[in-house]
Structure 1
Amino acid sequence: MAVCKPDFDVIVIGAGISGMYQLYLLREAGLTVRVLETGGDVGGTWYWNRYPGARLDSESYSYQYAFTKDLLEEWDWAEHFAAQPELERYYQTVADRYDLRKDIQFDTRVTAMTFNDGTDDWTVTTEAGQRLTARLVITATGVLSAPIYPHVPGMDRFRGEVHHTALWPHDEDVEFEGKRVAVVGTGATGVQVITEIAKTAGHLTVFQRTPNWAVPLNNEPLSSGEMAEIRAGYPEMFERLQNTFSGFLHDWDPTPTTDFDDAGLRERFETAYRGHGFTKWIGLPADIASDATANRKWCDFLAGKIRGRVTDPKTAELLIPDDHYFGTKRVPCESGYFETFNQDNVDLVSIKENPIEEITETGIRTAQGDIEVDMIVYATGFEAFTGALKRIDITGAGGRTLQQAWADGPVTYLGVQVSGFPNLFIMGGPHGKGGHGNGPRCAERVLEWMAEFAERIFTEGIRRVEADPEAEREWSDEVQRRASSGLMAQTKSIYFGDNLPDENDPEATPRKRVYLAYIGALNEYVERLRTMARTGYPGLLISK
């Protein structure tokens, strides 16, 4: 009996930054590709996250595609740290320039994927009931693309406006002027949106569960002269970005804090504080990332800055973290965030001191009373790394689901494959470098590795590729071992899934606490993949 040829060589899930480049590379390799995208256009993060204040904290010019040689010569960034509208225009321009949309199916949510043991291909099912087949499926669903809401009774009762920062309206303007607004969440997104809403809201109430070590972004416009100078240095810049720890322009300073006297360390910190973006994180003395005493010196410095910027001493103390070391959570970059709390129209509610009990028809009920609002904005983040994949019903060989495979947390081989799920490749999921660095730079070499391997699969007649269970176990154990020895392991964060709402749900099944990202250096991770390719792909079971 004849076997039907799959509809496509490769199906890619997601048309964000990674999915777009993966499509470009696979087409260059001569493969037939269809990209399935939930949204109405390209851009991923910068299509969905259009809330007020949404902005990069990686320098704009370090975040763009390196392969677009002609566009690099033409595109002038307006600011050191681009805002969402400029980023969305940029990725739309890339799609236009390389005619990517012809192979992208928009407004298409993937609900299920099933591996066919008899034919060694995948059937992908969409929400509309469409079924497509492909030999390979590559997921590019993003590290932060599965929004979560808090576990609070009565959320469906509220009669006013409700928005989640990751699901901001595309076809309407959200107005804050004269309205009573509540923002729930003070992470990286919350810090941005709170600062903007406070500028026009009649009254803003900020609900903070835990404060974060936010640092100044220090954004500035880019002049034509500065842009010309940056452009002239692109070749060296892109090379450098592949060799810094996390793909940022900034890298850890090998000079430890102990090499400075008190005055010298203070000046070192002041210089960093005045610098752009992550000079105040990745650009610091390296022992701050690993040594509690060094880290505390920087925390004390930042606490002093917060006390100097916030007028009310009690509010200042509420905004100073006391539960984690600096950098063990995602560090927000801010532009006037702390001064926001000096405004008469802004109140801060500490959920630790005054817990939210329920959402009512007219507002939020806390332990100390009702707060009536016209709008609630949830800046409550994402089920990071695994959420987008777990929300698809993925069934591998023998009928085993990804939910079953990851019941105790994700297991992968080098972050790109899972045993029992042949011909399925994960780009930018758990155990990859993307969650700890500059997204495009962390994805670039991995996507190129994937495209080269995909071409080889088809030219060499390979039918089936999957992770060896033993190699998967060794890699997953290494990921956990490396993360457990540092300061990050002492902190509740998205990197361990501690932000998921069921941690406060007494009826929820307790989760095993596992690390979701990869804590090593970018070039080290890329070299692991390259070495695997050079040596015949050890750790993968390959059938021709």
Structure 2
Amino acid sequence: MSSPDGVSMNGGEPSVHDVVVVGAGFAGMYMLHKLRGLGFDVAVVERASGVGGTWYWNRYPGARCDVESMQYSYSFDPELEQEWEWTERYSGQPEILRYANHVADRYDLRRDIRFETTVTGVDWHDADNQWRLQTDRGEFRSRFVVMATGCLSTANVPHFDGVECFEGPTYHTGRWPHEGVDFSGLSVGVIGTGSSAIQAIPVIAAECRELTVFQRTPNYSVPARNEPLDAADQADWKANYRERRARMLTQQAAMVQRLPDGEEPAKEATADEFGERMQERWEVGGFTFYRAYGDIGLDAESNGRVAEFVRGKIAEIVDDPETAAKLTPHNTIACKRPCLDTNYYETFNLPHVRLVDVSETPIERISPAGVVVGGEEYPVDAIVFATGFDAMTGTLLRMNITGRDGARLADHWDAGPRTYLGLGVTGFPNMFTVSGPGSPSVLTNMIPSIEQHVDWIARCLVDLRERGAATIEPEPDAEAYWVDYVNAVADLTLFPTCNSWYLGANIPGKTRVFMPLPGFPPYVEICEDVASDNYRGFVLA
């Protein structure tokens, strides 16, 4: 028995393909388009009812990309580049989702995507060199499986005693209702002050009657300076896309900045020169702020100087000294995902907005009427959990993946995720991960990173087909070397000095290992070298 779209239902015949791709975000869509063009039979399974991945689920107020629109887009088709018109410097979620849907329609991708299909188990079978994917809509089988599940796709929903008794609605920024939420006239509590919260808080504050923000850890944020996209600027980008796309691939984070990168050490600049340069970048907005000097992410003294500049800005912006002090971080700047904002700190000057510090006195429980901290109840009509994601590994581990001899991915990654190049895992043949742990992924502009991974995987599958090879998987020594290499590179930076989701520190009990690899251009060179050297570090059977 089959469903109307041809997918076998439970108990029916399996749906058999060359490749099954899990996820229909930007990675899954491009993977489908690329492989289909190379003659592979591909099916995509997607738990949502539409394409877009991160931008399908994250519909919270103020959701917006922190990479400029002209760079956060596909580069594989020059015609697509020229025909799509962006409207803002930083596109909001609705516009990005429209773009994703445009791509799906333009390349007729939906006919090979099985929506509203949740993967419940993924098992490798040595007898026939096949993956078998169990879903709530039947079984899929394939020689290859590509995990295009995204780095930020499993919401981290914390448990608070009493939350089930709360009399109002609760929301998570990563699971926002598609019909939207009206906070007009309500008292709202927001738990969390990470990137999603920093975007959402000003928008929610503009709508609700009263807003209470519960903050455990203050975050650094710099202005995005979002604005309508100038038509002349967009035309200039389109006229020079090839050159700029090539330049993006030479940059550490796969994006070009509005101001040139500074190369000299921040700690050696005079006070006047330092202040003028940082002020200029504060006014321009965006990630160019963190490229003012060459050693901001490497040298503690230089980093501390930049951090102090932002602390001074917080003190200038926030009227109440006590609130400003609570909002002021004292850790390394940019060791967590840097936040860009629109009037975040200014929001705390509004009379109906208050900040509750829960760093030393944590939230005790959720009462029927609100949030209890230090014995005091803060009444709210609705609660928003802006508590982030089980990043990079959460979605993969929830799919119950087993490889050779029934080995569980969860066991293989018990001491932290282990991959080779962020693309493959020892003992899990013919399984590829797009933007997996051990690749630059979240430290970059994600779409160029995605395209690089998809192109590499597609090249690999074509090479395997031409050679008649049945399987490919990383050698154990290559995987071990890569894990050590990623950590060695990270240790050259200040990233490991923070407890961030880069290390999994936001998830109780998760092993703390730095997961992404700093440095996009060297990584691309390594991947190319590995493929050209007969897939060095992989076993081809």
TM-score (normalised: structure 1): 0.95
Alignment correspondent of 1:515: 514
Counterparts of 1:497 and 1:5, CA distance in 2: 36
Alignment of 1:290-301 (within 5 A): 290-301=298-309
Shift in Å at residue 5 of structure 1? 11
User: Which deviations, in whole Å up to 9, do the C-alpha atoms of 1:199-246 show, x marking residues without a partner?
Assistant: 011111001110011110011111322221221121111111111001
Alignment correspondent of 2:242: 235
Alignment correspondent of 1:195: 202
Alignment correspondent of 1:167: 175
Say if 2:500 and 2:506, in contact at 8 Å, map to a contact too.
yes
User: Which deviations, in whole Å up to 9, do the C-alpha atoms of 1:380-422 show, x marking residues without a partner?
Assistant: 0001110110111101100111001001111111111111111
Counterparts of 1:75 and 1:414, CA distance in 2: 33
User: Which deviations, in whole Å up to 9, do the C-alpha atoms of 1:480-504 show, x marking residues without a partner?
Assistant: 222234322221001111011x2xx
Alignment correspondent of 1:286: 294
Choose which of 98, 106, 113 in structure 2 pairs with 1:104. Answer: 113
User: Which deviations, in whole Å up to 9, do the C-alpha atoms of 1:346-374 show, x marking residues without a partner?
Assistant: 11011114320011222111114111111
Alignment of 1:381-420 (within 5 A): 381-420=388-427
CA RMSD of aligned residues (A): 1.4
Counterparts of 1:148 and 1:329, CA distance in 2: 17
Alignment correspondent of 2:93: 84
Shift in Å at residue 432 of structure 1? 1.1
Counterparts of 1:173 and 1:189, CA distance in 2: 16
Amino acid at match of 1:396: G
**3-state SS in 2 of match to 1:35:** strand
Choose which of 303, 324, 333 in structure 2 pairs with 1:326. Answer: 333
Structure 1 position 528 matched with structure 2 position 521: no
Counterparts of 1:126 and 1:78, CA distance in 2: 39
Say if 2:14 and 2:140, in contact at 8 Å, map to a contact too.
no
Alignment correspondent of 2:59: 50
Alignment correspondent of 1:150: 158
Alignment of 1:286-435 (within 5 A): 286-322=294-330, 324-435=331-442
User: Which deviations, in whole Å up to 9, do the C-alpha atoms of 1:425-460 show, x marking residues without a partner?
Assistant: 111121111111100011211210111111222232
**3-state SS in 1 of match to 2:495:** helix
**3-state SS in 1 of match to 2:296:** helix
User: Which deviations, in whole Å up to 9, do the C-alpha atoms of 1:112-154 show, x marking residues without a partner?
Assistant: 10000101110001123x1010000000001111111123222
Counterparts of 1:226 and 1:136, CA distance in 2: 42
Alignment of 1:22-41 (within 5 A): 22-41=31-50
Counterparts of 2:524 and 2:130, CA distance in 1: 27
Amino acid at match of 2:535: Y
Say if 1:329 and 1:488, in contact at 8 Å, map to a contact too.
yes
Say if 1:31 and 1:455, in contact at 8 Å, map to a contact too.
no
Moved more, 352-361 or 60-69: 352-361
User: Which deviations, in whole Å up to 9, do the C-alpha atoms of 1:143-199 show, x marking residues without a partner?
Assistant: 1111111232222221211110110011x2300111010111101101001110000
Shift in Å at residue 71 of structure 1? 2.1
Moved more, 47-56 or 362-371: 362-371
Shift in Å at residue 513 of structure 1? 2.4
**3-state SS in 2 of match to 1:347:** strand
Alignment correspondent of 1:140: 148
Say if 2:504 and 2:510, in contact at 8 Å, map to a contact too.
no
Alignment correspondent of 1:205: 212
**3-state SS in 1 of match to 2:146:** strand
* Number of residue-to-residue matches in the alignment: 527
Moved more, 195-204 or 361-370: 361-370
Counterparts of 1:497 and 1:198, CA distance in 2: 30
User: Runs ≥4 in structure 1, deviation > 6 angstroms?
Assistant: none
Counterparts of 2:375 and 2:322, CA distance in 1: 18
Say if 1:155 and 1:360, in contact at 8 Å, map to a contact too.
yes
Alignment correspondent of 1:263: 272
Alignment of 1:170-181 (within 5 A): 170=178, 172-181=179-188
Counterparts of 1:284 and 1:461, CA distance in 2: 51
**3-state SS in 1 of match to 2:472:** strand
Counterparts of 1:410 and 1:308, CA distance in 2: 42
Shift in Å at residue 311 of structure 1? 0.5
Structure 1 position 481 matched with structure 2 position 488: yes
Alignment correspondent of 2:453: 446
**3-state SS in 1 of match to 2:36:** helix
Say if 1:303 and 1:320, in contact at 8 Å, map to a contact too.
yes
**3-state SS in 2 of match to 1:243:** coil
**3-state SS in 2 of match to 1:302:** helix
Amino acid at match of 2:320: D
Say if 2:193 and 2:217, in contact at 8 Å, map to a contact too.
yes
**3-state SS in 2 of match to 1:87:** helix
Shift in Å at residue 339 of structure 1? 0.7
Amino acid at match of 2:40: L
Counterparts of 1:64 and 1:465, CA distance in 2: 31
Shift in Å at residue 376 of structure 1? 0.5
**3-state SS in 2 of match to 1:326:** coil
Shift in Å at residue 277 of structure 1? 1.3
**3-state SS in 2 of match to 1:529:** helix
Shift in Å at residue 255 of structure 1? 2.1
Counterparts of 2:319 and 2:44, CA distance in 1: 51
**3-state SS in 1 of match to 2:177:** coil
Counterparts of 1:488 and 1:422, CA distance in 2: 32
Amino acid at match of 2:37: E
Counterparts of 2:279 and 2:89, CA distance in 1: 20
Say if 1:108 and 1:127, in contact at 8 Å, map to a contact too.
yes
Shift in Å at residue 259 of structure 1? 4.6
**3-state SS in 1 of match to 2:70:** helix
Alignment correspondent of 2:4: none
Structure 1 position 275 matched with structure 2 position 284: yes
Counterparts of 1:222 and 1:90, CA distance in 2: 16
Shift in Å at residue 258 of structure 1? 4.1
Counterparts of 2:467 and 2:189, CA distance in 1: 58
Structure 1 position 254 matched with structure 2 position 253: no
Q: 1:84 to 1:5 in 2, by over 3 A?
A: closer
Counterparts of 1:485 and 1:522, CA distance in 2: 15
**3-state SS in 2 of match to 1:60:** coil
Counterparts of 2:154 and 2:327, CA distance in 1: 27
Shift in Å at residue 48 of structure 1? 0.8
Moved more, 8-17 or 149-158: 149-158
Structure 1 stretches of 5 or more lacking a match? 503-509
Moved more, 69-78 or 298-307: 69-78
